[in-house]
Amino acid sequence: MKKVLLTSVVAAGILFATPQVTDAALGDQTLRMGMSHSDVTELQEALKGKGYFNFHTATGYYGTITRDAVRQFQASNNLQVDGIAGPQTFRALGASGGQAPASTSSNTTVSASSAGILRVGSRGSAVTSLQQQLRDKGHFSSAVDGVYGPLTQSAVRSFQSAMGLSVDGIAGPQTFNALSSGVVQSANTSNSTSSSSGSTASSSSVNTSSLVSFARTLVGTPYRWGGTTTAGFDCSGFVQYVFSNQGKSVPRTAAQQWNAGTTVSTPQVGDLVFFETYQSGPSHNGIYIGNNQFIHSGSSTGVTISSMSNTYWAPRYLGAKRM
């Protein structure tokens, strides 16, 4: 982390400010409520990498959400629970001694040529970056630890399935290319289906009555970040699961589902409705079921039915798409 120190030099009656750059480790800092700094951003990213700041975007402001995430991390690691990020907390995060937190690996893209082929048993920074990319795309919700184990393998399989790749749980060139480009490989999920004729054919392949009936059977299923099974769903995982049950393949994340669908001005039963919540763009979605209602997996409710006119959802509505 760079700190800029200003030294003043007076020459010919003119004051010049000369920047001097020194290095300081994140672990050297003590961060607490009310602070606003790039160090706080790194702290938030480190917490996100450990699974304690998943539903929010790093802002650089140490507010109640950051404090609560620090408290949860401290409690889980048998530290003093005070909501203040000091040396002990940073050491537990792996951010002491000038080492950047693991989550900062998201700034480094692993290419097929540099990472080679990763599989169960692989370890190191390439696996760390792979895990972070999978997390960013909504397929990995465990700790980013640089170890390619069963959880990472399962996340790779989930991503490969969503992108129409060969599902083998091995991260090779095709998987890395898809992670980097975000291009959907399958004809069922490519943007080519967004033409009106393709949309009609796709819609006709799904019985919307059956789709909604099945979705309703899942009401009460808990919310889980990155969840794609009845043990717990996130919003797009729920959508993907319901459509898959009806024999329709859709991409994994809300943003990908938004890009893969055809825009409709007024949603009909079975269409997807999208909202802008914790970040810019389509970050939440659900299935329209008629009567101005949609079924979705909310972070505080699990799978539930909500009104489009709800004071929370109405101002956040982005639009509807037909898959």
Q: Tell me which of 37, 56, 139, 296 is the catalytic residue.
A: 296
Pairing status of strand 232-233 against strand 302-307: unpaired
DSSP string, 253-280: SHHHHHHHSEEESS--TT-EEEE--SSS
139 is catalytic: no
Give 257-312 pLDDT, tens digit per residue. Answer: 999 999 998 999 999 999 998 888 899 999 999 999 999 999 889 999 999 998 99
Please tell me the predicted confidence (pLDDT) of residue 284: 94
The active-site residue, picked from 37, 56, 139, 284, is 284
What pLDDT shows up at residue 55? Answer: 57
In this predicted structure, the answer to whether residue 92 has a pLDDT above a threshold of 70 is: yes
- Looking at residue 191, its pLDDT comes to 33
- pLDDT higher than threshold 80 for residue 83: yes
At the top level of CATH, the class of 191-322 is alpha beta
pLDDT, residue 116, reads 65
Q: What is the mean pLDDT of residues 26-42?
A: 74
- Look at residues 194, 162, 213 and name the one whose alpha carbon lies nearest to residue 321: 194
Give the span between the Cα atoms of 90 and 260, in whole angstroms.
41
SS (H, E, C) 132-198: HHHHHCCCCCCCCCCECCHHHHHHHHHHHHHHCCCCCCCECHHHHHHHHHCCCCCCCCCHHHHCHHH
CATH code of 2-102, in short, is: 1.10.101.10
- 148 in Cβ contact with 122 (< 8 Å): yes
- Bridge partners (DSSP) of residue 275 are 284, 317
pLDDT at 71 over 50: yes
- What pTM value is reported for the model? 0.41
Please check the confidence at residue 20 and state whether its pLDDT lies above 70: no
Q: Tokens 């030294």 correspond to what residue?
A: 7
Confidence of residue 30 (pLDDT cuts 50, 70, 90): confident
With the C-alpha atoms ordered 312, 315, 318, 323, is the resulting torsion angle positive or negative?
positive
List the beta strands (DSSP E) in 1-85.
2-11, 14-23
Which residue spans of the chain are classified as CATH 1.10.101.10? 2-102, 108-181
Local confidence band at 58 (pLDDT 50, 70, 90 cut-offs): confident
Q: Is 220 helix (H, G, I), strand (E, B) or coil?
A: coil
Please report, as a single letter, which amino acid is at residue 123: R
Answer whether CATH 1.10.101.10 is correct for domain 108-181.
Answer: yes
Express each pLDDT in 231-254 by its tens digit: 999 999 999 999 988 888 899 999
56 included as an active-site residue: no
At 159, is the pLDDT very low, low, confident or very high (cuts 50, 70, 90)?
confident
What residue ranges of the chain are covered by domains with CATH 3.90.1720.10?
A: 191-322
Closest CA relative to residue 54, chosen from 42, 67, 45, 64: 45
Tell me the pLDDT tens digit for each residue of 191-236: 333 333 333 333 446 888 889 988 998 999 999 998 999 899 999 9
Cα 146 off chain centre by? 18
Per-residue model confidence (pLDDT) at position 257? 94
Residue 4 has pLDDT above 50, yes or no: no
The tokens for 11 are 């020459």
Kindly list the distances between the CA atom of residue 166 and the CA atoms of 127, 161, 170, in Å, as whole numbers in the listed order.
20, 7, 9
Cα first-last separation, the chain: 45
How far apart (Å, rounded) are the C-alpha atoms in residues 255 and 252? Answer: 9
296 is a catalytic site residue: yes
